[in-house]
Amino acid sequence: MKKKYTAAVIGCGRVGAEEWNYSKDVQPETHAASYKNNARINLAGLADINREKLKNAGKYFPEVALFNSAEDMFLKIKPDIVSIATNSDTHASLVKLAAKYKIPAILCEKPIAESVKQAEGMIKKCKESKSMLFINHQRRFDPLLQRWQKKIKNGLIGNIIQVNCYYYNGLLNSGTHVIDLLRFFLGEVDWVKGFVNTQTSWKKNDDNIDGLIKFKNGTLATLQTLPKNYGLSDFHFYGERGYFAVKNLGYEIEYRKVIENKCCKGFYQLSENAEIEGKPRSLASSAVSHMVSCLDGKMNPVSMGEDGLAALRVIFALRESAKKQGKIIRIKI
């Protein structure tokens, strides 16, 4: 019989436990509901310093123990997995606390931290405690996107020349997903140029930054922003042999071949026959299944602390470039 793991969640807000904010098409979509829905996991504890949020979560998960202190929860439950679904200014301290108690798997919300130094400290502590630190850039965990990433890496559309992509609601909040997925498909970043978009920015201390991202493989990506809650986070990859897109918040894939142009001899066009795959689904449950496989020793983590740190470096480079009127900033590791 396969081992059953114990899980806990710190932070009972929208992504932590408020499952009622999501449609059935994408449920389970919170950390708590994703653990509850997995047959290999026993959701044993929820913690939040906000008593009202904790009370509301308790109504939705009545059989789960509630705690106002993460440390009290660790002392009483000793989970195999813990999610940190709190504001980013608490990530560093809570990850280090989980590492102190040698929690085997830690799933931290994005962005990993509010500074490179904090992120490096989190990674160091988790290595010392032999805790696996996962960063919740959800799309990396999705089997459909993983399968297409392998196809693209294996040359399905040939050499990728240009990519354009869109995000909204702040570079740290939403843009981190875009940067991480670009790294997932294209590898490491060489340099960036950034410009604050005053028309689309609205979050305090988290501007929407349009920009250019040059990858070490030669691909150039344009980063463009949209207004508050616009709900569009699309990626368009243009290769020598085809076009590939990640659409509808990552739920849908589109692929078209490059063919000879029907009207102009010697020119090319994208095929009218598109291969389209995917529909709204739970991305959170894929993250949980992946962690279970890693704890079983069957898989290696696909979204580690180091990936979160790399995305953070790009974010800060874009911010620095924007402050310097679009100056090219090279990524230093």
Report cis status (omega within 30 of 0) of the bond before 111. yes
CATH no. of 5-135: 3.40.50.720
CATH topology for 140-282+312-330 is Dihydrodipicolinate Reductase; domain 2 (3.30.360)
Task: HSE, CB side, 13 Å, CA atoms: give it for residue 53.
Answer: 20
How sure is the predictor about 1, in pLDDT bands with cuts at 50, 70 and 90? confident
Average pLDDT (154-183) is 96
Using alpha carbons, list the distances in angstroms from residue 60 to 11, 33, 38: 14, 9, 16
pLDDT of residue 232: 84
| Full DSSP string of 101-116 | TT-SEEEEPSSS-SSH
**Contact (CB, 8 A) for 180 and 311:** yes
**pLDDT for 14-30, tens place per residue?**
999 999 999 999 999 99
pLDDT of residue 231: 84
pLDDT of residue 320: 98
pLDDT of residue 332: 86
**Contact (CB, 8 A) for 106 and 272:** no
Q: Is the pLDDT of residue 333 over 80?
A: no
Using alpha carbons, list the distances in angstroms from residue 186 to 135, 161, 180, 286: 19, 11, 10, 22
Mention every residue, 6+ apart, whose C-beta is less than 8 A from residue 285: 28, 34, 37, 38
pLDDT of residue 146: 97
**pLDDT for 286-317, tens place per residue?**
999 999 999 999 999 999 999 999 999 999 99
How sure is the predictor about 11, in pLDDT bands with cuts at 50, 70 and 90? very high
Domain coordinates in residue numbering, the chain: 5-135, 140-282+312-330
pTM for this predicted structure = 0.96
Give the mean pLDDT of the chain.
97
Alpha-carbon distance of 31 to 225, in angstroms, equals: 27
Q: According to the 3-state scheme, what is the secondary structure of 224-265?
A: EEECCCCCCCCEEEEECCEEEEEEHHHCEEEEEEEEECCCCC
Average pLDDT (169-196) is 97
For 166, other C-beta atoms within 10 Å of its C-beta total: 18
pLDDT of residue 64: 98
**Nearest alpha carbon to residue 313 among 102, 202, 172, 212:** 172
Please give the distance of CA 20 from its chain centroid, rounded to a whole number.
21
